[in-house]
């Protein structure tokens, strides 16, 4: 056999599981192996054969294996090495036959001893051929004596002692800043004294560069070739020269130290940021030198950012609008936490801007309290932000003392079309707080086929004729809370406009708002001397929550109050264009009040709409109202089906009667089928005059269900049909009043004498025909009831007497 490998050492990693460690070098006897274990803690120990391990494979040319008694903890190291004593005890002096195997064993042993010697030499400190140094393979050299001669190797302790002795004994130049070496941020050595020189800032590191490079990108606007004096004069020219000089040398951030007086200023560069150095830094706009143009601060072509800067306009009038504008297409400026104290002013972006503009955390239309800054804001025409035909503008977290400060001519200016997009990121979670609007609309954004989401508004008022607090088209998840609309001809909230066709709104909430006092009717063109023909709100009506044209899936009108309207008003109006297939559904209208409306009042009007379903009215109060040409609770137009109401109150209702009712299906407009159904359980209606209206009135057939009825009012509960009710679950004493379909027939009064599904009815009065029954009246308290205690019968008023 031969020795076919040159290695005599094998190393393994222990893991606490493995016990068998195979190796691939030849060994003659098991005692020739040394097995060393280095524990995870770094302790080295030689294992004992028979106690800690066993060996297999002695004499095998392909090697053998070590099998430990127990798994060795890891991560550790196991080293198996061949370590033979350097002697040869085989005698070859016999002159007999040639013993080949004996000779081979002798030569193998000698070869193994030579390999063993080489393995020892390789672990020694060696000097590479042709080199003048010893190579330690990046390993420590331990147990070295301290140096004595000049060329001895230095140990760690000897160096530390030497440096300490030098510092302790140092006197004179070594403690001079000019003699202390300092390596700068750029890696170039200098002295500590250099830090105080003009280049010292470049030696100190900052982020990925130096303090010098960072400071080089910043400068005060008052530093530069032009001296600026705070004496009230126009500072435009000097500011512009200093800005231009800073930008020319690479400055990116220009600090404002105070309020500067300007007439018109153009920031003629890209990528500069103006930063307020204190809480009263910014620009105070003086009167324009050219009264034919607006005094304007022009923002750059693109890439400008203003941080914390205040803009105040000291002189302005209705023809001299102060403006903050971007200069030309390709804009993309940013306003962060700026305060804009303005009167009759606007923020403009360039037309057809291709780069997004951002306005974050702005305060618009704020009057500052000092004498100089106490400006009267022209409330009739504060335009605020005009993103005029712009692209990609982002507006967030805006606050304004004027409703128009952030809205009309607001997110998107009139004439701008945004189609098929989702701009929720453009105005998400915006807040409009306080103030009043003196123009036509409060919050108005005429956006076509666009989806805006998660808008919150509070504390708004719209107190001028024709004002709407909120007008939108196709908006989803809009919450209107704590808003007031007084003296208004239009809706508190109007969803839909002439630009809203095809947009379907959903999940809007109108909650805890006041419709206001003295709500005027007649909003349409020419009505009451006020013309606004482009608005689609019905002439002669003012509404709380108006949906126009577009359908709506899911809305709430909750805990709102509308009071003192001398003319038509509705809590909610659902209107749709003819031919629309998208209708109104899944709406909830509850806990609302229409109080003290003299006449012509509607709780819910559905007029000219596409099919409507699953709309619930619950716990609403329609009280102290006077019947006029319209109705108290519901005015149902074309296709309004499956409207469910319950627990609504109609008290102290007075009017001419004559077919006017709490719920009214308008003649000629409501198209019904045999399966149409209206559910009205648990309602209360009390009438004060003998001419009071019925709870329900219609001129066309439909299946009407009013569950668990009680005796009714003088004017009649249900006006329609001429035959006795025959289906449903009835209780004794339930009453149905049917009106004959022709004038020749009289009103029939029906009273239930026995309850159950096969109720028995008695007619009181004459003149009932044979038409199939339609109405079912159950569970409602409809007026005056009288119980004759002597005969224990229920009676009601008819023809001036109890029957």
In-domain check, residue 27: yes
Band of residue 674 on the pLDDT scale cut at 50, 70, 90: very low
Same domain, yes or no: 254 and 371? yes
Helix ranges, 170-235 (H): 211-216
In terms of Cα–Cα distance, which of 594, 600, 598 is closest to 623? 594
DSSP helix/strand/coil, 80: strand
Task: Give Cβ neighbours of residue 393 (< 8 Å, ≥ 6 apart).
Answer: 349, 353, 356, 357, 358, 359, 387, 411, 426
In-domain check, residue 287: yes
Contact 600, 567 (CB under 8 A): yes
Give the span between the Cα atoms of 785 and 733, in whole angstroms: 10
Inter-CA distances, 200 with 180, 205, 212, 218, 253, Å: 15, 11, 8, 17, 21
Q: Which domain holds residue 513?
A: 446-451+464-653
Contact 391, 353 (CB under 8 A): yes
What does the DSSP 8-state code read for residue 102?
Answer: H
500-558 residue pLDDT tens: 344 456 666 666 566 544 333 322 222 222 222 222 222 233 455 565 545 666 777 77
Residue 80: cis peptide before it, omega within 30 degrees of 0: no
What does the DSSP 8-state code read for residue 177?
Answer: G
Same domain, yes or no: 230 and 369? yes
Phi, psi of 78 (to 5 degrees): -120, 125
Same domain, yes or no: 636 and 501? yes
Same domain, yes or no: 268 and 404? yes
Give the span between the Cα atoms of 494 and 581, in whole angstroms: 20
Containing 694, the helix (H) or strand (E) segment is strand 694-698
Same domain, yes or no: 768 and 682? yes
Give the span between the Cα atoms of 538 and 491, in whole angstroms: 10
Same domain, yes or no: 371 and 243? yes
Same domain, yes or no: 642 and 747? no
Same domain, yes or no: 768 and 735? yes
- Please name every residue paired with 619 in a beta bridge, in sequence order, or none if there are none: none
Give the span between the Cα atoms of 324 and 346, in whole angstroms: 6
In-domain check, residue 456: no
- Work out the burial of residue 42: count CB atoms within 10 Å of its CB; fewer than 13 is exposed, 13-18 middle, 19 or more buried: exposed
Among the residue ranges 23-27, 203-207, 425-429, 651-655, the one predicted with the least confidence is 425-429
- Residue 137 predicted with pLDDT over 70: yes
- Residue 194 predicted with pLDDT over 70: yes
Give the span between the Cα atoms of 57 and 25, in whole angstroms: 10
Domains in the chain: how many in total? 4
Torsion of CA 774, 780, 783, 785, to 10 degrees: 100
Same domain, yes or no: 638 and 683? no
Same domain, yes or no: 271 and 388? yes
Containing 243, the helix (H) or strand (E) segment is helix 236-248
DSSP helix/strand/coil, 726: coil
In-domain check, residue 723: yes
Same domain, yes or no: 641 and 693? no
In-domain check, residue 545: yes
Containing 68, the helix (H) or strand (E) segment is strand 64-68
Task: Give Cβ neighbours of residue 577 (< 8 Å, ≥ 6 apart).
Answer: 501, 549, 608
274-299 residue pLDDT tens: 787 777 777 776 654 443 444 455 55
Highest mean pLDDT: which range of 38-42, 256-260, 417-421, 466-470: 38-42
Phi, psi of 110 (to 5 degrees): -65, -40
In-domain check, residue 457: no
Task: Give Cβ neighbours of residue 624 (< 8 Å, ≥ 6 apart).
Answer: 595, 596, 597, 651, 652
pTM greater than 0.85 = no
Contact 790, 693 (CB under 8 A): no
Containing 46, the helix (H) or strand (E) segment is strand 44-46
- Residue 728 predicted with pLDDT over 90: no
Task: Give Cβ neighbours of residue 119 (< 8 Å, ≥ 6 apart).
Answer: 8, 9, 81
CATH number of the structural domain spanning residue 373: 2.160.20
Q: So what's the pLDDT on residue 90?
A: 64
Band of residue 588 on the pLDDT scale cut at 50, 70, 90: confident
Torsion of CA 722, 728, 729, 731, to 10 degrees: 0
In-domain check, residue 205: no
End-to-end alpha carbon distance in the chain: 133
- Residue 118 predicted with pLDDT over 50: yes
In-domain check, residue 21: yes
For the stretch 142-151, contacts whose Cβ atoms lie closer than 8 Å and that sit 24 or more positions apart, written own/partner, are: none
Band of residue 249 on the pLDDT scale cut at 50, 70, 90: confident
Contact 388, 423 (CB under 8 A): no
Band of residue 73 on the pLDDT scale cut at 50, 70, 90: very high
- What percent of the chain has a predicted confidence (pLDDT) above 90? 6
| N residues, the chain | 803
Same domain, yes or no: 492 and 631? yes
Contact 477, 506 (CB under 8 A): yes
Inter-CA distances, 501 with 184, 542, 582, 652, Å: 67, 22, 11, 40
Give the span between the Cα atoms of 258 and 282, in whole angstroms: 6
Domain boundary among 618, 653, 688: 653
Give the span between the Cα atoms of 738 and 726, in whole angstroms: 13
Q: What is the mean pLDDT of residues 68-90?
A: 85
Give the span between the Cα atoms of 10 and 23, in whole angstroms: 6
Task: Give Cβ neighbours of residue 575 (< 8 Å, ≥ 6 apart).
Answer: 496, 536, 538, 546, 547, 548, 549, 605, 606, 607, 608, 609
Among the residue ranges 64-68, 166-170, 461-465, 787-791, the one predicted with the least confidence is 787-791
DSSP helix/strand/coil, 495: strand
């Amino acid at each position: 056999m031969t020795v076919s490998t040159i290695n005599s050492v094998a190393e393994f990693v222990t893991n606490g599981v493995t016990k068998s460690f195979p190796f691939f070098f030849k060994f003659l006897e098991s005692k020739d192996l040394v097995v060393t274990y280095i524990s995870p803690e770094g302790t080295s120990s030689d294992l004992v054969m028979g106690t800690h391990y066993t060996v297999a494979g002695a004499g095998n040319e392909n090697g053998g294996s070590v099998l430990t008694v127990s798994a060795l903890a890891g991560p550790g190291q196991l080293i198996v090495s061949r370590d033979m004593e350097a002697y040869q005890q085989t005698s070859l002096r016999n002159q007999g036959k040639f013993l080949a195997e004996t000779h081979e064993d002798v030569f193998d042993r000698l070869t193994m001893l030579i390999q063993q010697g080489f393995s020892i030499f390789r672990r020694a400190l060696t000097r590479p051929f042709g080199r003048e140094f010893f190579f330690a393979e990046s390993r420590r050299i331990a147990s070295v004596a301290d140096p004595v001669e000049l060329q001895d190797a230095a140990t760690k302790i000897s160096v530390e002692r030497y440096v300490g002795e030098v510092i302790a004994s140092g006197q004179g130049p070594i403690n001079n800043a000019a003699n202390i070496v300092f390596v700068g941020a750029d890696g170039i050595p200098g002295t500590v004294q250099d830090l105080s020189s003009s280049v010292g800032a470049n030696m100190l590191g900052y982020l990925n560069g130096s303090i010098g490079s960072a400071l080089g990108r910043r400068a005060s606007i008052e530093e530069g070739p032009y001296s600026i004096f705070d004496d009230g004069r126009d500072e435009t020219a000097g500011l512009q020269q200093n800005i231009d000089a800073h930008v020319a040398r690479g400055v990116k951030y220009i600090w404002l130290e105070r309020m500067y007086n300007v007439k018109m200023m153009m920031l003629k560069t890209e990528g500069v940021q103006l930063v307020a150095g204190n809480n009263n830094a910014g620009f105070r706009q003086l009167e324009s030198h050219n009264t034919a143009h607006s005094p304007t601060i022009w923002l750059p072509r693109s890439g400008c950012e203003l941080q914390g800067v205040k803009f105040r306009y000291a002189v302005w009038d209705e023809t001299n609008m102060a403006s903050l504008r971007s200069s030309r297409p390709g804009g993309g400026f940013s306003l962060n936490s700026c305060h804009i104290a303005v009167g009759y002013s606007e923020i403009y972006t360039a037309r057809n801007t291709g780069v997004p503009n951002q306005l974050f955390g702005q305060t618009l239309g704020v009057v500052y309290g000092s004498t100089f800054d106490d400006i009267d804001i022209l409330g009739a025409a504060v335009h605020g932000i005009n993103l005029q035909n712009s692209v990609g503008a982002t507006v967030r977290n805006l606050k304004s003392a004027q409703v128009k400060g952030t809205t009309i001519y607001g997110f998107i200016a009139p004439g701008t079309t945004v189609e098929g997009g989702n701009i929720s990121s453009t105005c998400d979670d915006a807040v409009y707080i306080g103030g009043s609007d003196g123009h036509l609309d409060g919050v108005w954004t005429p956006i076509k086929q666009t989806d805006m989401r998660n808008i919150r508004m509070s504390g708004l008022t719209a107190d001028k004729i024709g004002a709407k607090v909120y007008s939108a088209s196709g908006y989803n998840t809009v919450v209107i809370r704590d808003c007031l609309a007084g003296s208004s001809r239009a809706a508190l909230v109007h969803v839909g406009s002439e630009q809203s066709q095809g947009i379907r709104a959903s999940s809007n909430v109108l909650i805890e708002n006041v419709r206001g006092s003295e709500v005027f009717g007649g909003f349409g063109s020419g009505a009451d001397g006020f013309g606004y023909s482009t608005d689609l709100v019905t002439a002669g009506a003012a509404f709380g929550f108006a949906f126009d044209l577009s359908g709506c899936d899911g809305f709430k009108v909750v805990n709102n109050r509308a009071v003192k309207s001398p003319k038509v008003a509705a809590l909610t109006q659902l209107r749709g264009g003819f031919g629309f297939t998208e209708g109104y559904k899944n709406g909830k209208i509850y806990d609302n009040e229409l109080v003290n409306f003299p006449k012509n009042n509607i709780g819910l009007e559905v007029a000219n709409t596409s099919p409507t379903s699953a709309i619930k009215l619950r716990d609403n109060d329609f009280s102290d109202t006077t019947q006029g040409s319209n109705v108290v609770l519901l005015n149902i137009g074309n296709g309004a089906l499956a409207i469910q109401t319950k627990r609504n109150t109609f008290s102290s209702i007075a009017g001419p009667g004559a077919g006017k009712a709490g719920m009214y299906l308008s003649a000629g407009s409501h198209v019904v089928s045999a399966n149409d159904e209206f559910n009205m359980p648990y309602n209360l209606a009390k009438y004060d005059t003998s001419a009071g209206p019925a709870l329900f009135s219609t001129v066309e057939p439909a299946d009407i269900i009013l569950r668990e009825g009680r005796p009714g009012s003088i004017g009649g509960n249900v006006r329609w049909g001429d035959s006795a009710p025959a289906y449903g679950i009835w209780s004794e004493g339930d009453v149905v009043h049917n009106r004959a379909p022709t004038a020749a027939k009289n009103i029939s009064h029906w009273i239930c004498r026995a309850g159950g599904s096969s109720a028995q009815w008695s007619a009181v009065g004459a003149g009932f025909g044979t038409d199939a029954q339609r109405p079912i009246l159950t569970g409602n308290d409809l007026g005056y009831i009288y119980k004759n205690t002597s005969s224990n019968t229920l009676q009601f008023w008819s023809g001036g007497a109890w029957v």
